[in-house]
Amino acid sequence: MPLTGEHPEAGDLRLVLVTGPSGAGRSTALNAFEDLGYEAIDNLPISLIPRLLSRPAPEGPLVLGVDTRNREFSSTGLAELFAQLKHDPRVQAEILYIDCSAPVLLRRFSETRRRHPMAPAESPERGIALELDLLTPIRALADALIDSTEMTPHDLRAEIATQFDRSGGARLAVSIHSFSYKRGIPRGADMVFDCRFLQNPYWQDSLRHLDGTAPGVAAYVARDPLFDEFFAKILDLLLLLLPAYTDEGKSHLSIALGCTGGQHRSVVVAEKLADALAATGWRVSKRHRELERKARIDGTNLMGKTA
């Protein structure tokens, strides 16, 4: 169905389609968007979306929750709609995919004792597997991917605010993550840099129990003969590419920095990189996956920071 009717000027209608597996946090995401001033509509049938957009446009941005509970949902239908929206100059559309690992989805369904909408008469495992398979093509199309596997609802809301709050302008939002290669590369990372060649503070008894936010650890890593050149090249590359990504219309970029344990070297580089990009005017958030995980295990509350 073609998009017709009254619309604002080209690209002025900002539209975010939020999808992802049941239990990943889509409802939390929609609430976060509402707090940012978006008009939120949940579970609208795909066939009605063009009709909605053909009416006089809302004054502010619009966010639509689309999920598999709707009986007419299909990956093909959503992909075709998204392609149509992408080619409409009056609409600035993007897909946000809220992802989550299957074991955590299963745990969440077990804790709430809910039936899975994809297999209400079968086990949650069956429903999760069916839904993840159905959503695979949409995940590949997503402009932004947030993995809620190790996030609290507060973490998820904060990440959405970082990436989608346009109250200060429509500049590219940059998310910088440190991680451990032992636990895998963060899903949704646009760029990944390996810091494992840098000298490792873990082998220093006085530094092992600290992390990369400690000045002593940062100084030790920075003394590596390759550190300055490595960091300068990453920063130069990003300062070259970020304006190009902005011109291309990309609204958020995820950069991941990894080391063996995700405690020292990657944290040092992530901290320094976030500060350097923020100093040049970019809107930057930073998350230290392994430090946050350790904090939860220890019962403390280390939240994502914003530079």
Domain residues of the chain, as ranges?
A: 13-164, 173-306
pLDDT at 1 over 60: no
Q: What pTM was computed for the model?
A: 0.67
> What was the pLDDT predicted at 168?
55
Over the stretch 289-305, which tens digit does the pLDDT of each residue have? 999 888 877 764 444 44
Q: Which amino acid is at 142?
A: A
DSSP 8-state code for residue 36: T
Mean pLDDT, the chain, integer = 86
SS3 24: coil
Q: Is the model more confident about 61 or about 262? A: 262
pLDDT value of residue 105:
92
- Burial letters for 145-164: b for 16+ Cβ neighbours within 10 Å, e otherwise? bbbbbbbeeebbbbbbbbbb
Give the chain's largest Cα–Cα span: 68
Question: Count of alpha carbons within 13 Å of 59, Cβ hemisphere only?
Answer: 1
pLDDT band at 30; cut points 50, 70, 90: very high
* 306 C-beta neighbours (distance < 10 Å), count: 14
The architecture of the domain spanning 13-164 is 3-Layer(aba) Sandwich (3.40)
Phi, psi of 210 (to 5 degrees): -95, 180
Residue 256 has pLDDT above 80, yes or no: yes
Encode pLDDT of 134-167 as tens digits: 999 998 888 888 999 888 888 898 888 888 876 6
* pLDDT the model gives residue 58: 66
Residue with tokens 């979306």: 49
